[in-house]
A and B are shown apart, each in its own frame.
Chain A
Amino acid sequence: QQQVKQSPQSLIVQKGGISIINCAYENTAFDYFPWYQQFPGKGPALLIAIRPDVSEKKEGRFTISFNKSAKQFSLHIMDSQPGDSATYFCAARDSSGSARQLTFGSGTQLTVLP
């Protein structure tokens, strides 16, 4: 019940295209859904996050779409650039407990071709 399932495992997009990464969860107690970006040799860095009281959040070229009834959320990268090439992780957190730990998806390796 703690799993977060992420797809696709890898994604290749042309420069200027739209990259879409999807995640699904089971635990209805999750109430915070961040996306992390990780470059080789670096730790993950928070990219954008959403709470389930909104269906969409946009920050620049990055948008999270959230479907509470389907227990799914997705990351859309508009006008994808070669500098966006990285591994992206979705995550989810149950804020009700004392631990408030993050559960991560398995990651999507994005390659944006020039």
Chain B
Amino acid sequence: EAGVAQSPRYKIIEKRQSVAFWCNPISGHATLYWYQQILGQGPKLLIQFQNNGVVDDSQLPKDRFSAERLKGVDSTLKIQPAKLEDSAVYLCASSLVGGEQFFGPGTRLTVL
């Protein structure tokens, strides 16, 4: 079974630029999560989708972050404009409803 796919794996941008990350969940997983993992910290949930609807986006900085999950499969997370403090690994995870979360390898973002 293929795992959660994410791209790109690494991204370096200047502050105030925009960036987008892509996630392809495990086939059949209705729930998709985006996490931010700052170096030395545990993952922090940014947004949770069930199919193409948002379940929880309470910790998403909505002035600069946006996410969508069109057709309830792939998802993109966008940051516009990026700040230095956005440097982190962005993890995507997916699960069956209420089931174990499976994580992708993440995208390491460096904002200069």
**Interface of A toward B, CB cutoff 8 Å:** 4, 6, 41-46, 89, 91, 95, 98-102, 104-107
Contacts and interface: CB of A to CB of B under 8 A. Distances in A.
Interface of B: 4, 33, 40-45, 48, 55-56, 91, 93, 98, 100-101, 103-106
Given A98-B55, A99-B56, A104-B44, 16 more contacts: A41-B105, A41-B106, A43-B93, A43-B106, A44-B43, A46-B100, A89-B43, A98-B56, A100-B98, A102-B101, A104-B43, A105-B42, A106-B40, A106-B42, A107-B41, A107-B42
Nearest to A34: B100
B103 A43 contact: yes
A99 B18 CA distance: 29
A92 B17 CA distance: 35
A99 B43 contact: no
Contacts of A107: 40-42
A101 B56 contact: yes
Nearest to A107: B42
Contacts of B48: 99, 101
